[in-house]
Amino acid sequence: MGLQALATKLGFGLNVDRNWQEILNDVNGAIKRLPRTTPAEKEFHGKCSAAAVLLQQVKDAWRNAVMHPRASYREQQAIDILSCAKALMQKLVEIV
């Protein structure tokens, strides 16, 4: 839901049949096209950029390794990934 809301705010429909990297490419492309003239536009751009970075981190650290088992996580690593996912959701709340 959070990713769908972000896509809507960025002006595109989220195609859930696409993979994570394709969705990230759409998000990053939409962010690059955002206007950055006014302070409000610059602030929105910054929040969206931060969300995209966090989304990339969650994808790389959690989704890829879990869906394509290459690694196991120690407790602290799992906590770190959870913290990153939490930060992403908090950033999405700021945006939407």
Residue 63 has which token pair? 């989704």
- Which residue range forms the structural domain that includes residue 60? 2-95
Q: Any residues with CB less than 8 A from the CB of 31 and at least 6 apart, and which?
A: 10, 45, 48, 49, 52
- What does pTM read for this prediction? 0.79
User: Structure tokens of 2?
Assistant: 């959070």
The more confidently predicted of residues 74 and 95 is 95
Instruction: Report how far residue 36's alpha carbon sits from residue 44's, in angstroms, rounded to the nearest whole number.
Output: 9
The highest-confidence range among 41-50, 66-75, 77-86, 87-96, by mean pLDDT, is: 41-50
- What is the distance between the alpha carbons of residues 53 and 75, in angstroms, rounded to a whole number? 23
Q: How many domains does the chain have?
A: 1
**Percent with pLDDT over 90 in the chain:** 53
pLDDT at 69: 57
